[in-house]
Amino acid sequence: MVHVASIVPISLTVGANRIVPAVAIPYPLGNPELPKDEERGLRLNLVKKALRALQMGVEKQTVFEE
């Protein structure tokens, strides 16, 4: 499992092992200020990043920053 989370410290506290930081609390996988296609691109990239995290072996809690 990978946790795409707006507040990383909470994700760490509750024990997620793979964490991908999200955009913002009311829109973790979006940004209403962007044009629709750019926003869709941003979401696609975040989901790809989450999938990459699932393909990586981790020993302990890991935050996938970049």
Partner 1 sequence: MADKKYRVVHYLNQFYAGIGGEAKANIPPLIKEGAVGPGIPLQQALGEEGEIVATVVCGDSYFAENIEAAAESVVESVAPYKPDVFVAGPAFTAGRYGIACGASCAAVSKKLGIPVVTAMYEENPALELYRKEVYIIPTAGSVRGMKEAIPKIASFVWKLGLGQEIGLPQEEGYFPRGIRVNQFVDRTGAERAVDMLLSKLRGEPFQTEYPMPTFERVPPSPAIRDLRSTTIALVTSGGIVPLGNPDRIEAASASKFAEYNIAGVDDLTPDAYQTCHGGYDPVYANDDPDRVLPLDAMRALEKDGIIGKLYDLYYVTVGNATSVANAQKFGKAIAEKLKAADVGGVILTST
Q: Rounded CA gap, 51 and 66, in Å?
A: 13
Contact residues for partner 1, defined by CB under 8 A: 1-7, 9-11, 13-18, 22, 24-30, 32, 39-40, 43-44, 46-48, 50-51, 54-60, 62
The CB-of-66 to partner 1 minimum distance in angstroms stands at 18
CA distances from residue 46 to 17, 54, 59 in whole angstroms, order as listed: 17, 13, 22
The CB-of-16 to partner 1 minimum distance in angstroms stands at 8
The CB-of-42 to partner 1 minimum distance in angstroms stands at 9
